[in-house]
Amino acid sequence: MVWDVLLSYFALFLARIFDVTLGTLRMIMVVRGKRAWAAAAGFFEVLIYISALGWVMSSLNDPFKIVAYAAGFATGTFVGGVVEEKLAIGILTMQVIPGSRQDAEILTSVAREQGFGVTVLTGEGREGPRDVLMISLDRRAQRALVRLVDEVAPGSFLTALDTRSARGGVFAYRKGK
């Protein structure tokens, strides 16, 4: 009897983890323009959500169910973020501003050798003209690019911008690098 009650709390907790994780992924898919995947995630998210909500609403006098529901929501928020980070869906544009023109030339050359598409622009900084490297890449390749920048041109200024879509160009990860 006690185990059945504890198991029901745990099941409610797990249900909320799954539905909130799906909700996180659904929103990311919408932002990334993957509407069909977002719709599928939304379908299952709502199925689980309505079931869990009905379960907890049927016994609002049980504070442990409410706690399990809330704890599942909080944990699902965390898990959704972790899953999204691991999936690394989408495209980024990294802006890299090396410390010197020489660092920019070396980094551009090495990055291109490793399959990254690099566009070099000239910007104006506090200390005069600076090269700005614009590199669009699959999010899965971000860590590799950051490691490369740290090795070749340590001290560079990096920013990562979400890119909704890209057409053409060179993407290292898509070439299997």
Residue-wise pLDDT for 156-166, tens only, equals 999 998 877 67
Q: How far apart are CA 79 and CA 84, in angstroms?
A: 8
Kindly give, in sequence order, each residue whose CB lies less than 8 Å from that of residue 18, ignoring residues fewer than 6 positions away: 48, 76
Which pTM value belongs to this model? 0.68
- The CATH architecture that domain 91-175 belongs to is 2-Layer Sandwich (3.30)
Which residues contact residue 79 at a Cβ distance below 8 angstroms, ignoring those fewer than 6 apart? 17, 20, 21
The model's pLDDT over 128-156, given as tens digits with 9 standing for 90+, comes to: 899 999 998 888 889 999 999 999 999 99
CB count within 10 Å of CB 148 equals: 19
